[in-house]
Amino acid sequence: MHSELLRRRTFGIVSHPDAGKTTLTEKLLLFGGAIQIAGAVKAKKASRHATSDFMEIEKQRGISVATSVMGFEYRDTKINLLDTPGHKDFCEDTYRTLTAVDSVIMVIDAAKGVEAQTYKLLEVCQMRRTPVMTFMNKMDRETREPIELLDEVEEKLGMTVCPMSWPIGSGKLFKGVYNLYDNTLILFKAHHNLKNLEDVIAVKDLQDPVLDRVLGELQANQLREDVALVKGVYPAFDLDAYLSGRVTPVFFGSALNNFGVKELLDFFIQKAPSPLPRETTAGMVDPKDPAFSGFIFKIHANIDPRHRDRVAFLRICSGMFDRQKKVHHVRLKRDMKIANPTAFMAQDKEIVDTAYPGDIIGIHDTGNFKIGDTLSSGESFYFKGIPSFSPEIFRVCVNTNPLKLKQLQKGLEQLCEEGVAQLFTTVLDQRRIVGVVGALQFEVIQYRLEHEYGAQCRFDALNFAKACWLESSDFQTLEAFVKDRKSQMATDKEGRYVYLAETRWSLEREIRENPKISFLSTSESHA
Ligand code: G4P
């Protein structure tokens, strides 16, 4: 069990759309020998580009369940790559997936730098002190200056950067990278397959004339200057600082050309953490603990009426999962057998008999699970750190079929439990507000309400940009704040106060002017 634990790496890729996440995923899967699924990843992406209609995306759901978790083996390491949807399908699931990983790889388009979605996802990583490796992608194109890119990561994302390699030129002049740790020069060649990957040249030191020979005098001298500067400015790689999320090692490459990907992957399996202890309401749970435990971080509902099934995704945190043994569902206070647990190996979904911490299994669900549920071997506790994330798009739900009010209420509540959206009630007039992270969710909700619950509704736009949960040790201050801003106050499903900010700017002003109140962008039931 201990060796199974140590050889597992469970991670996600965070990036802004079009930075190269899908391309990098495919190359990683190629290294893992998982050729077939690479096609599936592309197919999913193709459907996303081909149409803006969510039903078309839904048609691909079979694929998207399969690519939600991609397990593969590489050099005796079991790697679980969790998908973080980022295009039109960006939603709270994307954030929540980050609660189930042990580390992330951040992909940045080197021509663009840190973009909005990367920033949002990194906020969640920082909150959890998740270790981050950075891949500066698309070096085969004209890019921004490497130093400028690194500065931007430090400034915008609040991490210290530690370049592991240094690029030589970019675009048409891109010659390759110089590995700052083992003094090798890796020459760039455009490659789409795994054969003859890179030309690696060992260099004695930076004065080695081989540099002038292969790079030309101009670029060789530039490299000498750059490396001297970089070594003076950036700290040497410090494993503990990386593991605590303070420092991010940075690689430069081109996913499309399979350049720099192998270096990244080799470094990743050596340095990225295996499953770590996790905090629960009953103290820390160690992955080495023989007692089985795990939590549900995502529920995927298939809306095709012919296959209206749900899959609950369980992240195993300790002990061994054994299909033959019953598990304890903490919230429902009962033991249950999991009939057909599936593992997500890259080639296919398959029934799993045993699984270990770090692994994700899919459980066929008929409505027993909610996000954040714990399964254990008998103990009663909840995992901390699986919060609701603050929505950014809000609409009022208006019932358009008075005969189906009950169905609408039930449907909305159940869909929110599944994690599709969050439901708030305004303090002033008790209106039901639905908040989501990605706009596509409204179409999904409307469709599902109609087809699964027979209810019809309309969503009217609201002018709010962010919801924040309010907390204060000073009860009177909090009550006074709520009273003064009644038109912007709502309560969540558990009756907690939520402030609906009209703009990010007005939120910042309120934060400044109300130092006794905490404005939280996440809320936890089991804090
Ligand atoms: P995403 O999942 O993060 O959204 O990005 P994706 O991998 O789909 O990449 C977005 C576009 O960038 C794709 O081009 C892809 O081929 C390209 N790309 C990815 N990595 C590199 C790289 O290292 N160098 C260059 N030059 N391009 C790269 P596309 O035209 O949108 O799609 P496709 O027709 O190539 O699939």
306-330 tens-digit pLDDT: 566 788 999 999 999 999 999 999 9
Q: How far is the CA of 264 from the centre of ligand 1 (A)?
A: 18
Does 232 share its domain with 253? Answer: yes
> What's the 110 CA to ligand 1 centre distance in angstroms?
12
The residues facing 489 across adjacent strands are 499
293 shares its domain with 266? no
Q: How far is the CA of 125 from the centre of ligand 1 (A)?
A: 24
Chain segment 16-39, per-residue pLDDT in tens: 999 999 889 988 888 887 654 445
**Inside any domain, residue 57:** no
Minimum mean pLDDT among 96-110, 348-362, 426-440: which range? 348-362
Angle between helices 440-453 and 405-417 (to 10 degrees): 130
At 28, is the secondary structure helix, strand, or coil?
A: helix
Distance in Å, CA 223 to ligand 1 centroid = 28
Q: What is the largest CA-CA distance in the chain?
A: 83
Tell me, what's the pLDDT at 36? 45
Q: Does residue 54 lie within any of the structural domains?
A: no
The residue whose two tokens read 């369980």 is 314
The residues lining ligand 1, judged by C-beta closer than 6 Å to any ligand atom, are 15, 17-23, 45, 137-138, 140-141, 254-257
How far does the chain reach from its first CA to its final CA, in angstroms?
Answer: 30
**CA 42 / ligand 1 centre spacing (Å):** 11
Q: pTM for this one?
A: 0.89
Q: For residue 137, give the ligand 1 atom closest to its CA.
A: 23
Q: Say whether pLDDT at 49 is over 50.
A: no
Residue 471, pLDDT above cutoff 80 = yes
Residue 504 and residue 369 share a domain: no
What pLDDT does 66 receive?
Answer: 60
pLDDT tens digits for 445-459?
888 899 889 999 999
> Same structural domain for residues 347 and 434?
no
Q: Which CATH number characterizes residue 492's domain?
A: 3.30.70.3280
3-class SS at 135? strand
State the pLDDT at residue 59.
55
Q: What is the pLDDT of residue 487?
A: 92
209 and 345, same domain (yes or no): no
C-alpha 252 to ligand 1 mean position (Å) = 16
The answer to whether residue 210 is domain-embedded is: yes
**Model pLDDT for residues 240-283, shown as the tens digit of each residue:** 999 999 999 999 999 988 889 989 999 999 999 999 999 999 99
- Domain-ending residue, one of 217, 245, 271: 271
Asked whether residue 59 is domain-assigned, the answer is no
Is pLDDT above 60 for 58?
Answer: no
Ligand 1 atom 19 nearest Cα:
20
* Nearest atom, ligand 1, residue 25 CA: 7
* Percent of the chain as helix, strand, coil, to the nearest 5: 35, 30, 40
Assigned token pair, 397:
């739900």
pLDDT at 340: 82
Q: Are 168 and 204 in the same domain?
A: yes
143 CA to centre of own chain: 26
428 pLDDT higher than 70: yes
Does 63 map to a domain?
no
Ligand 1 atom at minimum distance from 254 CA: 23
Ligand 1 centroid from CA 522, angstroms: 32
The ligand 1 atom nearest the CA atom of 255 = 23
State the CATH number of the domain containing residue 237. 3.40.50.300
Residue 46 scores a pLDDT above 60:
no
416 in the same domain as 362: no
Of the three residues 349, 376, 403, the one that is the final residue of a domain is: 376
Which pLDDT value is given to residue 523?
Answer: 86
pLDDT of residue 38: 45
Is 66 part of any domain? Answer: no
Q: What is the pLDDT of residues 151-210, one digit of tens each?
A: 999 999 999 999 999 999 888 889 999 999 888 888 887 665 555 556 677 788 888 888
Tell me the C-alpha distance between 435 and 391, whole Å. 5
Same domain? For 460 and 502 the reply is yes
What is the chain's length?
A: 527
The residue whose two tokens read 């002049």 is 173
Query: Would 47 be classed as within a structural domain?
Result: no
Counting ligand 1 atoms within 8 A of each CB, the residue from 15, 21, 23, 170 with the most, and so the one to mutate, is 23
**Ligand 1 centre from 138 Cα, in Å?**
8
Please give the pLDDT value at position 486.
93
Residue entry with tokens 């033991």: 335
Region 214-220: what's the mean pLDDT? 90
pLDDT confidence of 52, banded at 50, 70, 90?
Answer: very low
Dig out the tokens for 86 from the structure: 């980022």
- Residue of higher predicted confidence among 86 and 409: 409
**Calpha distance 388→422 (Å, rounded):** 8
Instruction: Tell me the average pLDDT of the chain.
Output: 87
Q: Which atom of ligand 1 is nearest to the CA of 259?
A: 23
Give dist(CA 270, CA 359) in Å, integer: 18
| Amino acid (one-letter) located at 45 | K
Domains held by the chain: number: 3
SS in 3 state form for 368-402? CCCCCCEEECCCCCCECCCCEECCCEEEEEEECCH
Task: Please tell me the predicted confidence (pLDDT) of residue 196.
Answer: 55
Q: Using DSSP, state whether 257 is helix, strand or coil.
A: coil
Instruction: Answer yes or no: do 263 and 187 share one domain.
Output: yes
Domain-ending residue, one of 246, 271, 296: 271
Residues 340, 370, single domain; the answer is yes
Res 336: pLDDT: 94
All residues at 6 or more sequence positions from 139 whose CB lies less than 8 Å from its CB, including other chains: 110, 167, 170, 174, 177, 188, 252, 253, 254, 259, 260
Whether residue 470 lies inside any domain: the answer is yes
Residues 351 and 393 in one domain: no
What burial class does residue 224 get, using C-beta atoms within 10 Å of its C-beta: 0-12 exposed, 13-18 middle, 19+ buried? middle
- Spatial distance between the Cα atoms of 177 and 139, rounded to a whole number of angstroms: 10
Angle at 48 between CA 42 and CA 53, to 5 degrees: 155
Q: Do 160 and 109 share a structural domain? A: yes
Domain that includes residue 346, residue range? 278-376
